Structure 1
Amino acid sequence: MSRTLALLVFGVMAAFFGCFFAYPIWTTVKLAFETPDHQLTLEFVFEVFRNHIYQEGLINSFLIAIWTTLGCLVMSIPLAVFFVRYAFPGKNLLNSLVLTPMVLPPFVGAIGVKAILGQAGALNSALIHLGWMNPQHPTDWLGEGQMLGIVIMEVLHLYPVLYLNVAAALANLDPAMEEAAANLGCRPLERFWRITLPLIMPGIFAGGTIVFIWAFTELGVPLVFDFDRVTSVQIFRSLNDLSDNPFPYALVVVMLVFSTLIYSLSKLFFGRANATGGGRATMARETIHLPYGLGWLCTIFFALVIFLAVIPHLGVVLLSFADDWYATVLPHSFTLHHYQEALSHELTLSSISNSLKYSVIAIAFAMVLGIGVAYVNVRTRIWGRQVLDAMAMLPLAVPGVVMAFGYLAMTRPGQPFDWLVLGEDPFLILVIAYAVRRLPYIVRSATAGFQQVNPALEEAAQNLGASPERALWRVTLPLVAPNLLAGGLLAFAFAMLEVSDSMILAQQSAHFPITKAIYFLVMALGNGPNLASALGVWAMIFLTITIVGAALLLGKKLGALFR
């Protein structure tokens, strides 16, 4: 790539980042600190901490994030240790299945959790049938306010993120350090606590930070559980009262500050240079072949975690087929009618069409931009190329609720970007939002591809008379096509099932994406939850096929996209 073209990519990315990442955040911050007569004030932000309702929302958000992170740690660390260090029956298959939660958006899985753990759900019905529970006083497993259900759903969905990071840290840990401790008489359990755990702490903290921020800012699951006392839902509920109400913007700013602070602390104490726990191993680690009984105990532990993880999926599938499922272990009868209606219902058909339209265009644009960013970062030596890569990755550090609200703020009537919402149609702004949110996946997969291709191949093409751009088009891009396709597939799948942007930016049913349509159906009376479940199963199948396809193309490098 010529220096001129590299500088052009840098300029385009900087302009795009400034307009559609920095400016939305700035607009939100400005409205949170500005009075109607354009005077600077801290009153609105202070009021967030003084107001009992907002205080409760922040406290509940932190509690959900803390318990979710702890739950993911309890599930992920043993799984990672067993997978990296030991050989046991079905190891490779179980390692793939343990990532199952990624195939279903958590707020869709929440429908299944409610059907199973509700007071008239399948679990209580089973216990009543066995005589272990009084049918007049069924246990409320989800608890008052539904917070327990939210935590359960978040843990079952997010533990693979932490598992991938911890497994990577363990795999890169130099076994010589543990062997030295063993030679000094350190027992295995003590060795793990005093040597292994501190060394893999960067990986734990990196994955834990993602899980904490994700759970802290999650919107979809609390909405499905109808739990309004969290900050993200309080922001969502305020959408109809933005004209003269500065407090939603103040809430968004407070959420942004806490999320940024947590992310910055992660980078400060456990920077990327040490994110895999002590660097690359200087010697190969031997996989320990466990005795027959212990090996099967590992297999059972993996299988148990996988079973717990698929419970929400099973609940969604059963509800999608259920003709009547109330106070019984299984539905009274099954039907395919919900699937037929889900594919013929006016709302679902338009939502599928809308999601396809938004996602295809967004990922096509993100693909062009992501390839340019990755190539400049890997193949050129221009000043600021690391800044370019950092800009592309920053959307991972900012909560989706914050970005969506920023887009809403910058497209208000009278704002410079109000033309992005033409006649209440959010098409352009949703495309941009999807592109920004999924750009990091494409940049990471493209970067990995360019790093694997020897630059001497491009140099040979240029020596034969090809321009740098022609060498890139004819030589390099065909070689990195599997990486680009895998990253594009994942970005497309997650864009199709994007929650925050879809819930906040699409206000009219004619413009609903799939996730907004599912939420609308869940809240509807009659067979709405059944239709939502059927649509969720279609989404599950779609995302499963996509992830399997990406895994076949990327192999073991698939996990790097989630770290």
Structure 2
Amino acid sequence: MSRSLALLVFGIMAVFFGCFFVYPIWTTVKLAFETPDHQFTLEFIAEVFRNPLYREGLINSFTIAIWTTLGCLLISVPLAMMFVRYDFPGKSLLNSLVLTPMVLPPFVGAIGIKAILGQAGALNSALIQLGLMNAKHPTDWLGEGQMLGIVVMEVLHLYPILYLNISAVLANLDPAMEEAGASLGCPPWQRFWRITLPLIMPGIFAGGTIVFIWAFTELGVPLVFDYDRVTAVQIFRSLNDLSDNPFPYALVVVMLVFSTLIYTLSKVFFGRADAVGGGRATLARETVRLPLSLGLLCTSAFAFITFLAVVPHLGVVLLSFADDWYATVLPQVFTLDHYHQALGHELTLSSIANSLKYSVIAIAFALVLGIGVAYVNVRTRIWGRQLLDAMAMLPLAVPGVVMAFGYLAMTRPGQQFDWLILGEDPLVILIIAYAVRRLPYIVRSASAGFQQVNPVLEEAAQNLGATPERALWRITLPLVAPHLLAGGLLAFAFAMLEVSDSMVLAQQSAHFPITKAIYFLVMGLGNGPNLASALGVWAMIFLTITIVGAALLLGKKLGALFR
């Protein structure tokens, strides 16, 4: 790529991010600090901390995030240690199945876990039949306010992010360090606490930061549980009262500040590859073949965690087939009617078509931008290329609900970008929102591809008379196509089931994407949850196919997309 074209890519990305990343955030911040007569004030921000309702929402959001991160750590660290250090039956297959929760969106799984852990759910019914529970006083497993159910869903969905990061760091540790500790008489547990754990902290914090921010700003799962006492849901509930109410914008700003601060601290202290003495191993680690009994124990641990992660979604599947499922272990009558009704419902087909339309265009747009960013960062030496890469990755640090509210603020009537809402149709702004949110996955997968292709191939083509652009088009892009396809599939799958942008920006039923249609159905009376479950099963099947395809193409590099 010529220097002039590289500078053009830099300029386009700077303008794009200025308009559709910085400006939406700035608009939201401005509204949070501005009085109706355009005077600066801190009153709205202060009220967030004074108001007991808002304060409770923040505390609950932090509580959910902390317990989710701790739960993910308890699952991920032992699994990663077993995978990297030992050979056991079914290791490769089980490692692939660990990614299953990423295939199964928690927004959908929350429907199933309510059917299983509710007071009249399957678990209590089983315990009553076994004589282990009094039928008149069933246990409320989800707890008052249903916070426990939210934490369970978040842990079972997000632990693979930590697992992938920790596994990658463990695989790169030099085994000589631990061997030196062993030769000095350091027992295994002490070696873990004194040597291994400090060295894998970059991986823990890289994954843990994403998990914490994701859980802190989660909107979909609390909505399905009808749990209003978290900040993200409080922001969503205020959509109908934005004209004269500055407090939703103040809530968004507080959430943005906390999320950005957490992400920045993680990058400052653990963002460097050589942080805490970590680095690539100079000697290959030899995995230990365990005795059959211990090997089967490791196999069972992986299988059990995967089973737990799948249980909520099994509940969704059962609910989609159930004619009546109340106070019984399994549905008493099964039917296919819900699938027929779901496909025939006025919301269903239009929402599928809308999601396909929004996602396909958004990912095509993101691919063009992502290829340009990745190529400039990997193949050129222009000033600011690292800044360009950092810009592309920033959407990972900013909560989806913050960005969605920013887009809503910048497209209000009378604003500079109100033309993006064409006759109440959010097509253009949703495409932009999806593209911005999923751009980091494209950039990371494209960068991995460019790093694997030797630049000598392009130089040879240029020596034979090809322009840099022609060499990129004819030589490099075909070679990195598997990485682009994998990143595109992953981004497309997540865009299809995007929650925050879809819930906030799509206001009319004719424009609902799949996730908002599922929410609308699950909140309905009668067989609404059954229809939502049927639509959720279709979504899970689709997402399974795309994520498995991305995993097959990227292999172990899949984890790099979440760092």
Q: How high is the TM-score relative to the length of structure 1? A: 0.99
For structure 2, the 5+ residue unaligned runs are none
Q: Does 1:113 align with 2:110?
A: no
1:274 Cα offset (Å): 3.2
Give the C-alpha shift of residue 555 in structure 1: 1.9
Assess, with a 3 A threshold, how the Cα gap between structure 1 residues 396 and 512 changes in structure 2: closer, same or farther. same
Structure 2 match to 1:371: 371
Amino acid at match of 1:279: G
Q: Deviations over 1:378-426 (max 9, x none)?
A: 1111111111111101000100010000000000111100000111111
Instruction: Judge conservation of contact 2:83–2:91 (CA < 8 Å) in 1.
Output: yes
1:343 aligns to what SS in structure 2?
helix
Equivalent in the alignment of 1:442: 442
1:196 aligns with 2:196: yes
Q: Distance in 2 between matches of 1:57 and 1:21?
A: 26
Corresponding residue number in structure 2 for 1:555: 555
Q: Deviations over 1:454-505 (max 9, x none)?
A: 1111111111111111111111111111111111111111100100000000
Q: Distance in 2 between matches of 1:371 and 1:453?
A: 14
Deviation at 1:2, TM superposition (A): 1.2
Match of 1:469 in 2: 469
Alpha-carbon shift at residue 275 of structure 1 (Å): 6.2
Matches within 5 A, 1:131-530: 131-274=131-274, 278-530=278-530
Partner of 1:84: 84
Residues 275 and 98 (structure 1), Cα distance of their counterparts in 2 relative to 1, 3 Å cut = farther
| Structure 1 stretches of 4+ moved >3 Å | 274-277
Residue 26 of structure 1 corresponds to: 26
Aligned residue type for 2:140:
D
Deviations 1:302-321 (A, max 9, x none): 11111111111110111111
- In 2, distance between residues paired with 1:26 and 1:275? 33
Aligned residues: 563
Partner residue in 1 for 2:67 = 67
* Alpha-carbon distance, 1:343 to partner: 1.5
Instruction: Report deviation, 1:336.
Output: 1.1
**Letter of the aligned partner of 1:113 in structure 2?**
I
Match of 2:99 in 1: 99
Instruction: Kindly provide the amino acid, as one letter, of the partner of residue 21 in structure 1.
Output: F
Q: Deviations over 1:137-186 (max 9, x none)?
A: 11110011000000000000001011111111111111111000000000
2:198–2:276 contact (8 Å) kept in structure 1: no
CA distance in 2, matches of 1:221, 1:269: 31
1:270 to partner: Cα distance: 0.5
Secondary structure (helix, strand or coil) at the match of 2:144 reads coil
Distance in 2 of aligned mates of 1:155 and 1:371: 33
- Structure 1 421/277 Cα, relative in aligned 2: closer, same or farther at 3 Å? farther
C-alpha separation in 2, matches of 1:138 and 1:402: 39
CA distance in 2, matches of 1:224, 1:285: 45
Aligned partners of 2:173 and 2:198: how far apart in 1? Answer: 11
> Any conservation in 1 of the 2:356–2:496 contact (CA below 8 Å)?
yes
Q: Which digits, 9 at most, give the CA deviation of each residue in 1:19-60, with x for residues without a partner?
A: 000000000000000000000000000000000000000000
User: Is this contact kept in 1: 2:350–2:510, CA < 8 A?
Assistant: yes
Indicate the SS of the match to 1:323: strand
Aligned to 1:116, what secondary structure does the other structure show?
A: helix
Question: 1 CA distance for matches of 2:381 and 2:162?
Answer: 34
SS of corresponding position for 1:119? coil
- State how far apart, in whole Å, the 1-side matches of 2:482 and 2:49 are: 49
Residue 339 of structure 1 and its aligned partner are, at CA, apart by 1.2
Q: Percent identity?
A: 87
Is the 1:203–1:277 Cα contact (8 Å) retained in structure 2?
no
Counterpart of 1:116, as a letter, is I
| Partner in structure 1 of residue 49 of structure 2 | 49
1:222 Cα deviation after fit: 0.4
Asked if 1 retains the 8 angstrom alpha-carbon contact of 2:169 and 2:200, the reply is yes
Say if 1:421 and 1:428, in contact at 8 Å, map to a contact too.
yes
CA distance in 1 between partners of 2:85 and 2:440 (Å): 31
CA distance in 2, matches of 1:346, 1:416: 34
Corresponding letter in the other structure for 1:392: A
CA contact (8 A) 1:172 1:277 kept: no
Q: Is the 8 A contact 1:162 1:208 kept in 2?
A: yes
Shift of 1:277: 6.6
Distance 1:549 1:277, change over 3 A: farther
Pick closer, same or farther for the CA change 1:325–1:331 going to 2, 3 Å.
same
Q: Deviations over 1:174-208 (max 9, x none)?
A: 11110000000000011111111111111111111
Equivalents in 2 of 1:338, 1:245: separation in Å? 41
Q: Secondary structure at the match of 1:415?
A: coil
Aligned amino acid, residue 465 of structure 1: G
For 2:65 and 2:12, locate their aligned partners in 1 and report how far apart those are by CA, in whole Å: 36
SS of 2:334 mapped into structure 1? coil
What secondary structure, in the 3-state scheme, does the structure 2 residue paired with 1:489 have? helix
Q: CA deviation digits over 1:411-464, x for unaligned, max 9? A: 011110000011111110000000000011111111111111111111111111
| SS class of match (1:471) | helix
User: Contact (CA 8 Å) 1:201, 1:277: kept in 2 or not?
Assistant: no
Question: How many Å apart are 1:530 and its aligned residue?
Answer: 0.8
C-alpha distance in structure 1 between counterparts of 2:242 and 2:268, whole Å: 36
